[in-house]
Each structure stands twice: as C-alpha cells, then as structure tokens.
Amino acid sequence: MIGVMPTGQAQRMADQQGLDLVEITPNATPPVCKIMDYGKFKYDESIKAKKARKAQKITQVKEIKFHPGTDTGDLEHKLRQIRQFLSDGAKVKLTLQFRGRENAHKELGEDMIARVLEMLKDECTVEQAPKTLGRIHGCLIGPPRTKKGGGKPQISVGDEKPSEDDSPAGGGIHISIG
C-alpha cells in the first residue's frame, strides 16, 4: 500500500512500471485504486466467475403421484422415495390425482396429502401449501431448512473515514500496488 496521492502522480507511477491504474472502489473517499495488469485482472475475474457457476447447486424438483385409493404398502414405498429425494437435496412435488367418481370425494384425497405431510413433518418443510386445481390436489415440499450463521454480527472493516490531513490539497486517490 502506497497511500494517498494525486491521480496524475499515480498514473505516472503506473506508466513507469508498464502497468495500468485500476479504480477498485470509486465510492470511497478518496477513491481506492490499484496499479496492476488490467488484462490479467480481467482474466482472473473470468476464471473466478466460471468456478462460481460450476459450484452453483441446481435444485431438482421430483414428483410423486398418489391416488385417493393408494394402499398402505404403496404409500410406505412412496414415503421412502420422498425421504431419499429430500436427503439428496431435491424438492418434491406431491400430486394426488382424482379419477372418475373420486372427484365426488375430494376430502379423501386432501386427507391423504395431509397424512403424508404429517408423517414427514420432521423431515421436510412445506414450500407450497396443499391446494386443489381441477382434478389434481398437490403441494411442494423441500429439505428441512437449517439455520445459517451464528449469533455473532458481521463486522465490516474499512468503514473508517480517512482524516482530512491525509488527503492532498488538490484531491487524490488511495493507491496500492498489487
């Protein structure tokens, strides 16, 4: 870190070293600049962005279908599948489809979804409440949410304002070589 100096002097220093003067934080008082190879800086930023895209996790939505007459054995199998999907980090869409005369007894289907949610209450979070759309009654559940971050507040460094005597009379910039 070099310190606070006039912009012209900082530009001359960068030119002497065959590097560029790059403004890092324009909103700071005085603005923070760095003497560096701008082409290398842009290349490094593109590599970081590419790695961030690669590390990004894509959430899948799996669908499990029921009918009001789904038997106990089949229901247990579907619950095992749901638990497996949730443990893999996927969201699960539960759909209960009414066929024919089942439409007259929609409360049976709503009870089935409520029973499934009751069985899974400790293992999932309901992301979309159960609702009926035509012949289909369904909801969306996801893996249980975990608390992120502790009780400690984040302390940001660099919020200090430089004193008036540090800045040159003609206005300047804070500069570092990197």
Q: pLDDT by residue (tens digit) across 73-104?
A: 999 999 999 999 998 888 999 998 888 887 78
CATH of residue 31's domain is: 3.10.20.80
- For residue 147, being part of any structural domain is answered with no
In a domain, 106, yes or no: yes
Number of domains in the chain: 2
Question: Is residue 23 domain-shared with residue 87, that is, in the same domain?
Answer: no
- What residues have CB less than 8 Å from 137, skipping those under 6 apart? 95, 96, 98, 106, 109, 110, 113, 130, 131
The verdict on 48 and 75 lying in the same domain is no
Cβ distance 66 to 113 under 8 Å? yes
Q: What angle do CA 29, 4, 35 make, to 5 degrees?
A: 100
Instruction: Please provide the average confidence, as pLDDT, over all residues in the chain.
Output: 81
> Is the pTM higher than 0.75?
no
User: Can you tell me whether residue 154 is helix, strand or coil?
Assistant: coil
Q: Are residues 79 and 128 in the same domain?
A: yes
> Do 112 and 77 fall within a single domain?
yes
Q: Which domain holds residue 68?
A: 61-142
> Residue 15, Cα to own-chain centre: how many angstroms?
41
Q: Could you tell me if residue 31 is inside a domain? A: yes
- Give 97-133 pLDDT, tens digit per residue: 888 887 787 888 888 888 888 988 888 888 888 888 8
Are residues 172 and 105 part of one domain? no
Q: What is the pLDDT of residue 170?
A: 52
